[in-house]
């Protein structure tokens, strides 16, 4: 038997490098062994404690793959597992052969034959064995030691690579399942269902069904609290990307100097504080949906960068030379009128067109005829569970009271009103098992004038001189005054101010940021 040729080694290395998957890699390894050493059977076994598991074989019956050999019960395997170097068993060795009756070309007890095994080590750890058998006695005796060493090294590396790949695949699979679970969980946490039977809501649901399965970018727009986020999550849930991630980005809360790194990631050392490589939101959303909430608040410079990523499906992490390909569907949401923003130069027209391939308008609660009742029932049930109340109901007169209100804060406002009303009702009816929400529990909602659709308090505005008045500026001014006043009254406590204004803290922060409101808390020293 000659020394293994360098061309065989190169061929094996190239074969292994070009392998498509683990099975293919093992088959190629066994092919090369058979080309180098004349034999009738060759098997690769992986070592698991005291068990050897065949993972690839040639020349042995297929059922061998299903066998699990206990090392202690097979003396030849025991010897091999205790050895650090290849072992050639004597042709007339009295030790029973584990492959007795398993060779393809021979039935019955194995006669005198050649048998050798190569223990496969990596980093001093036994990974498995390579066994080689031939029905011709003494045939392995003159194989050079060097040839066996090379085959051992190749087989060990192959096995180690396979184990590493398996580990990585398991990890990747696990992470994927975690992402699916979390995305599903986030969807369910929000109730996961768009409640509403009004005609306008039925239309909305139909639109969602039509467009969800497409890969179009979607712009979800509508007033505050109408349920834009819920619509975005529903779109993802009904899309083909449902098992991929849905990554949330609040564009209003992105610190301006970190926007690029947040969205596209950065490499280690890209800037002070970048201690390690970090993936951005686009990469995290790969294969899924990127939800760009409050897109209207994004500074112009960041808009250009997002546009580039959407156009090319490529991102460039900060500090990295090459670009990375991403497969992301964008769902963006805003409560601004982006067309107006484009006209006023605050939003890039090209980005607007890219995002609004299919715009979805979420209607105001006031437009959803009959839905206040359904939503009230829905929130009553949710609140009942949250507060641990045995039975909570809402009186018919309370519903009609709610139905007359204009709901400027939309569904979110209704949700908050019901939560507060339930608390009040519970403290009023401490000893009752069935607690009923009555209209008094809902507090005084700012009733609207059907004529102007404005809260009564503001109807007096009608007497104001309207010449030269700019609606946006006036509204901003009013909001600025109201928020500043409330914040001052609440001692700079944003959460408390948000509660008083029946909105949530993030929303209040966002509006305050846009209006340039800053509250400095004063510390009173004694």
Ligand X SMILES: Nc1ncnc2c1ncn2[C@@H]1O[C@H](COP(=O)(O)OP(=O)(O)OP(=O)(O)O)[C@@H](O)[C@H]1O
Contacting positions for Mg ion (CB under 5 A): 229
Figure out which of the listed residues 227, 245, 265, 317 binds ligand X, where binding follows CB under 6 A: 227
Helix (H), strand (E), coil (C) string for 90-132: CCCCCCCCCCCCCECCCCCCCCCCEEEEEEEEECCEEEEEEEE
356 binds ligand X (CB under 6 A): no
Task: State the minimum distance, in angstroms, from the CB of residue 252 to ligand X.
Answer: 9
Name the closest residue to ligand X (Cβ): 227
CA geometry: angle 368, 373, 374, nearest 5 deg: 80
Neighbours of 471 (CB within 10 A): 8
Give the pairing of strands 289-293 and 329-334.
parallel
Question: What DSSP state is assigned to residue 321?
Answer: S
Figure out which of the listed residues 154, 230, 351, 501 binds ligand X, where binding follows CB under 6 A: 230
* Site pattern 82..101 for ligand X (x: CB under 6 A): --------------------
Task: State the minimum distance, in angstroms, from the CB of residue 215 to Mg ion.
Answer: 23
HSE on the CB side for 453, CA within 13 Å?
5
Task: State the minimum distance, in angstroms, from the CB of residue 434 to ligand X.
Answer: 24
Figure out which of the listed residues 117, 196, 244, 317 binds ligand X, where binding follows CB under 6 A: 196
Give the pairing of strands 246-250 and 434-437.
unpaired
**Residue 377 contact among ligand X, Mg ion, none, beta carbon within 5 to 8 Å by kind:** none
Region near ligand X per CB under 6 A, out of 62-70, 108-116, 227-235, 265-273 = 227-235
Figure out which of the listed residues 119, 225, 288, 317 binds ligand X, where binding follows CB under 6 A: 225
Gyration radius (Cα) of the chain, Å: 35
415 binds ligand X (CB under 6 A): yes
Task: State the minimum distance, in angstroms, from the CB of residue 433 to ligand X.
Answer: 27
Number of residues that bind ligand X (CB under 6 A): 19
**Residue 507 contact among Mg ion, ligand X, none, beta carbon within 5 to 8 Å by kind:** ligand X
**Residue 435 contact among Mg ion, ligand X, none, beta carbon within 5 to 8 Å by kind:** none
- Quote the CA–CA distance of 1 and 31 in Å, as a whole number: 17
Nearer to ligand X, 230 or 306 (CB): 230
Task: State the minimum distance, in angstroms, from the CB of residue 65 to ligand X.
Answer: 53
> For helices 471-489 and 505-514, what crossing angle results, to 10°?
120
**Residue 512 contact among Mg ion, ligand X, none, beta carbon within 5 to 8 Å by kind:** none
Helix, strand, or coil (residue 471): helix
Figure out which of the listed residues 32, 134, 183, 224 binds ligand X, where binding follows CB under 6 A: 224
383 binds ligand X (CB under 6 A): no
119 binds ligand X (CB under 6 A): no
Name the closest residue to Mg ion (Cβ): 229
Task: State the minimum distance, in angstroms, from the CB of residue 414 to ligand X.
Answer: 8
Nearer to ligand X, 74 or 236 (CB): 236
228 binds ligand X (CB under 6 A): yes
**Residue 415 contact among ligand X, Mg ion, none, beta carbon within 5 to 8 Å by kind:** ligand X
348 binds ligand X (CB under 6 A): no
Phi, psi of 95 (to 5 degrees): -70, 130
194 binds ligand X (CB under 6 A): yes
Nearest by Cα to 59 from 103, 116, 114, 125: 103
Taken as a whole, the chain contains a residue count of 526
**Residue 335 contact among Mg ion, ligand X, none, beta carbon within 5 to 8 Å by kind:** ligand X
Figure out which of the listed residues 133, 229, 262, 441 binds ligand X, where binding follows CB under 6 A: 229
Task: State the minimum distance, in angstroms, from the CB of residue 157 to ligand X.
Answer: 53
- Quote the CA–CA distance of 283 and 226 in Å, as a whole number: 29
Task: State the minimum distance, in angstroms, from the CB of residue 365 to ligand X.
Answer: 8
**Residue 227 contact among Mg ion, ligand X, none, beta carbon within 5 to 8 Å by kind:** ligand X
235 binds ligand X (CB under 6 A): no
CA-CA distances (angstroms) from residue 325 to 179, 282, 415, 420?
Answer: 20, 10, 41, 48
Helix (H), strand (E), coil (C) string for 196-228: CCCHHHHHHHHHHHHHHCCCCCEEEECCCCCCH
Helix (H), strand (E), coil (C) string for 398-454: HHHHHHCCCCCCHHHHHHHHHHHHHHHHHHHCCCCCEEEECHHHHCCCCCECCCCCC
DSSP string, 26-49: HHHHHHHHHHHS--SEEEEEEEET
296 binds ligand X (CB under 6 A): no
Task: State the minimum distance, in angstroms, from the CB of residue 361 to Mg ion.
Answer: 15
195 binds ligand X (CB under 6 A): yes
Task: State the minimum distance, in angstroms, from the CB of residue 477 to ligand X.
Answer: 21
Place of tokens 């690839």: 56
List interacting residues with ligand X (CB under 6 A).
190-191, 194-196, 222, 224-230, 335, 378, 411-412, 415, 507
């Amino acid at each position: 038997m000659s020394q293994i040729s360098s061309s065989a080694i190169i061929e094996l290395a190239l074969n292994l490098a070009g392998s498509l998957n683990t099975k293919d890699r093992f088959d190629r390894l066994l092919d090369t062994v058979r080309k180098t050493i004349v034999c009738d059977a060759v098997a690769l076994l992986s070592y698991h404690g005291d068990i050897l598991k065949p993972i690839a074989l040639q020349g042995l019956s297929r059922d061998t793959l299903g066998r699990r050999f206990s090392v202690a019960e097979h003396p030849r395997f025991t010897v091999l597992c205790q050895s650090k170097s290849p072992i050639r068993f004597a042709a007339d060795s009295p030790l029973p052969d584990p492959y007795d009756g398993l060779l393809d070309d021979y039935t019955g007890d194995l006669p005198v034959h050649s048998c050798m095994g190569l223990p496969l080590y990596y980093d001093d750890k036994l990974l498995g064995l390579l066994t080689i058998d031939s029905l011709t006695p003494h045939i392995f005796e003159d194989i050079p030691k060097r040839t066996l060493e090379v085959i051992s090294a190749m087989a060990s590396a192959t096995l180690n690579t396979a184990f590493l790949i398996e580990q990585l695949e398991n990890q990747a699979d696990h992470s994927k399942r975690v992402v699916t679970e979390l995305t599903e969980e986030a969807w369910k946490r929000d109730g996961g269902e768009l409640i509403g039977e009004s005609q306008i809501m039925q239309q909305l649901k139909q639109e969602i069904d039509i467009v969800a399965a497409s890969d179009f970018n979607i712009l979800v727009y509508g007033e505050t609290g109408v349920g834009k986020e819920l619509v975005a999550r529903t779109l993802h849930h009904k899309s083909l990307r449902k098992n991929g991630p849905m990554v949330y980005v609040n564009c209003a809360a992105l610190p301006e100097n970190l926007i690029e790194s947040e969205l596209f990631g950065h490499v280690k050392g890209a800037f002070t504080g970048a201690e390690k490589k970090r993936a951005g939101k686009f990469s995290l959303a790969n294969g899924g949906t990127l939800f760009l909430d409050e897109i209207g608040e994004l500074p112009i410079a960041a808009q250009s960068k997002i546009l580039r990523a959407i156009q090319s499906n490529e991102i460039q992490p900060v500090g990295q030379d090459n670009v990375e390909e991403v497969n992301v569907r964008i769902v963006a949401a805003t409560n601004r009128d982006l067309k107006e923003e484009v006209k006023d130069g605050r939003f890039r027209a090209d980005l607007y067109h890219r995002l609004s391939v299919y715009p979805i308008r979420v209607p105001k609660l006031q437009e959803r005829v009959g839905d206040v009742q359904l939503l009230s029932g829905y929130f009553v049930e949710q609140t009942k569970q949250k507060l641990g109340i045995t039975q909570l109901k809402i009186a018919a007169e309370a519903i009609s009271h709610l139905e007359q209100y204009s709901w400027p804060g939309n569904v979110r406002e209704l949700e908050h009103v019901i939560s507060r009303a339930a608390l009040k009702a519970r403290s009023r009816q401490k000893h009752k098992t069935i607690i009923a929400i009555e209209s008094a529990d809902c507090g005084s909602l700012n009733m609207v004038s059907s004529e102007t659709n404005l809260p009564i308090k503001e109807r007096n505005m009608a007497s104001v001189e309207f010449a030269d008045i700019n609606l946006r500026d006036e509204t901003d001014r009013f909001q600025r005054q109201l928020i500043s006043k409330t914040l001052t009254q609440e001692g700079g406590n944003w959460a408390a101010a948000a509660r008083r204004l029946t909105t949530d803290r993030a929303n209040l922060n966002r509006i305050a940021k846009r209006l340039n409101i800053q509250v400095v808390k004063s510390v009173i020293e004694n």
